[in-house]
Homo-oligomer: A and B are copies of this chain.
Amino acid sequence: MVAKVPKRCVIGVDLGGTKLLAGAVDGELRVHHRALRSSRGNVTREVLSIIEGAVREAIEAVGGAAEGVGLGIPSTIDRRRGVSVYATHLPLAGVPVADLLAERLDLPVFMDNDANLAMLVEHRAGAARGVDHALMLTLGTGIGGGILVDGRVYRGSQGAAGELGHIVVDQDGPPCQGNCPNRGCLEVMASGSALVREATAMAGERPRSELGRALASGRGITGPLVTELAHDGDEAARDVLALIGRRLGVGLSSLVNVFNPDVVVIGGGVVAAGELLLEPARDELLTRGLPPARDHVRVVPARFGEESGMLGAALLARDGVDARAAA
């Protein structure tokens, strides 16, 4: 029996703030192999080697025949210069990541902001299918953003648009995360990191809740734990998710007033909390937003969940390879 080798595969890579996912993806968005790595490298070369290793594993798993690589990174990107300009959580500032990887792999490499890619795949085949105006927020270590305008991902004048996590919610709020110099950004108020921070504080305040007991028992407070306890009915955990959801809703009111989108897609790990997060977010949006935009927009979870960045990167590579073949 001969193993079936998929045809026309590309490798999609989602480089998150803490982990990396590479997938060998065919033309129908089927994933034939997944390679997972920790992305915590202290120097640029280390991060590049982690990416290279994962891509090689995925290529070998599908018989060595990938046509190109798509790479999503959590960074503002200067598309004219092809470099990562400001990676909030990785040592990639000023690095021509795509060129360096293309040299290492001898394959065409296409790069974009990770949340732009999540937007791309959610529009092409997911929760924003069939609409022309949409936004994407990915709630993880940070908050990434993607903008769909008239059916296309919007990148602004230099390719750096879509930093939807870096809109101010509270001008005197806490300093933002990573390399962002701002205060009170949506990211520092409503990301997975904010969720863990608020849950830890809440656990201290309510020691008799399940959340409080988890903290006291030395179990580390994580996003998935808060979500699990909330789904099991712990009021303290639910209150934390509602707090984060309402802050998300404040950000949504700004974004919906600005863009009047058909859909806002919420992705990233935090959206595993589902309606416990989204319902308070929608309530806050309806309380604060302007009609008709606030009443028109749908706020929905991502279809592709935590794989949307990787799948979007594969779409980027597929589009890029096809465009070169047609040229």
Contacts and interface: CB of A to CB of B under 8 A. Distances in A.
B156 A293 contact: yes
B260 A166 contact: no
A250 B131 CA distance: 31
A232 B178 CA distance: 43
A123 interface: no
A249 to B, nearest CB: 10
Interface stretch (A37-45, A95-103, A282-290): A282-290
Interface stretch (A4-12, A28-36, A168-176, A309-317): A168-176
Nearest to A76: B290
Interface string A110-142: 000000000000000000000111000000000
B167 A170 contact: no
Contacts of A217: none
Interface stretch (A179-187, A207-215, A272-280): A179-187
Nearest to A250: B171
A246 to B, nearest CB: 9
Interface in A152-206: 154-164, 166-172, 180-183
Nearest to A284: B171
Most buried by B among A155, A255, A258, A296: A258
Contacts of A262: 157
Contacts of A85: 291-292
A78 interface: yes
B250 A181 contact: no
B287 A157 contact: no
B86 A168 contact: no
Contacts of A255: 258
B157 A260 contact: yes
Contacts of A222: none
A161 B259 CA distance: 5
A259 B156 contact: yes
A258 B76 contact: no
Contacts of A247: 171
Contact of A291 (B76, B251, B288): B76
Given A166-B290, A293-B156, A260 B161 contact: yes
Contact of A159 (B86, B170, B260): B260
Given A160-B293, A247-B171, A254-B254, A181 B287 contact: yes
Interface of A: 76, 78, 85-86, 131-133, 145, 147, 149, 154-164, 166-172, 180-183, 247, 250-251, 253-255, 257-262, 287-293, 296
List of 9 A-B pairs having minimum Cβ-Cβ separation, nearest first: A156-B260, A167-B254, A161-B260, A163-B257, A133-B157, A182-B288, A166-B257, A160-B260, A157-B262
28 contacts: A76-B291, A86-B291, A145-B258, A149-B154, A156-B259, A157-B260, A157-B261, A158-B292, A158-B293, A160-B296, A161-B258, A162-B260, A163-B258, A163-B290, A166-B257, A166-B258, A166-B290, A167-B257, A168-B168, A168-B169, A168-B254, A169-B171, A170-B170, A181-B290, A182-B253, A182-B257, A182-B290, A183-B288
